[in-house]
Amino acid sequence: GAVVSQHPSRVICKSGTSVKIECRSLDFQATTMFWYRQFPKQSLMLMATSNEGSKATYEQGVEKDKFLINHASLTLSTLTVTSAHPEDSSFYICSALRNEKLFFGSGTQLSVL
Amino acid sequence: AQTVTQSQPEMSVQEAETVTLSCTYDTSESDYYLFWYKQPPSRQMILVIRQEAYKQQNATENRFSVNFQKAAKSFSLKISDSQLGDAAMYFCAYRSGGSQGNLIFGKGTKLSVKP
């Protein structure tokens, strides 16, 4: 089946630094990828839709300048958390659509100290 | 706006028994898809089963089946012959037929399987 790779799986950073998370579709081309955020014991909330070659579409309440998304190729989307603060600590999951099915990366646990 | 509701925060089932997880949704659309995803402790989201709204026949995947009641906007998941490996969070999700693919998730049901 389709595989979506997400890296890193876990990252710890200091407050004020930036963190980049990569999401790759390994065996298919994904023109659209999605970034979700999941707080402990809660559901997944869509943050933004990443479109190859164009600007991402952000959900209401998501800060575009804090969560920078770049989808420069058909197999790679990146999420950069800029000037991270403790409240940005969360589990971030990417996903990609293939043949009407959504496949997920393994997620990134971000901890901001 | 579409919403997905899972009214059972936690469920428990005995190994080899059958359990049903509930899900209701609200939409004014006629073209949509419904999904059940499993999230084990590893936190990897795994697609369990998928249902197209235009199909009357309930989807089935081995031990997993759904009861899709379109008029009632209900989409329950039945797990037969429960196994220890079925223990996980289960999320019901909705996707508009005309959307790019983003899902709207319910809050999830934590399923425990007792040996």
Query: HEC string of chain B?
Result: CCEEECCCCEEEEECCCCEEECCEEECCCCCEEEEEEEECCCCCCEEEEEEECCCCCCCEECCEEEEEECCCCEEEEEECCCCHHHCEEEEEEEEECCCCCCCEECCCEEEEEEC
Q: Are B107 and A42 within 8 A, CB to CB?
A: yes
Q: Are B100 and A49 within 8 A, CB to CB?
A: yes
For residue B6, the chain A residue with the least C-alpha distance is A43
CA distance A92 to chain B (A): 11
pLDDT at A43: 92
Judge whether A107 is closer than 8 Å to chain B, CB to CB. yes
Residue B24 per-residue DSSP state: E
Alpha-carbon distance B112 to B115, whole Å? 10
pLDDT at A41: 84
Q: Which residues of A fall within a CB distance of 8 Å from B95?
A: 102
Kindly report, residue by residue over B12-68, the tens digit of the pLDDT. Answer: 999 999 999 999 999 999 899 999 999 999 999 999 999 999 998 999 999 999 999
Find which of A37, A42, A43 to mutate to test the B interface (most B CBs within 10 Å of its CB).
A43
pLDDT at A2: 60
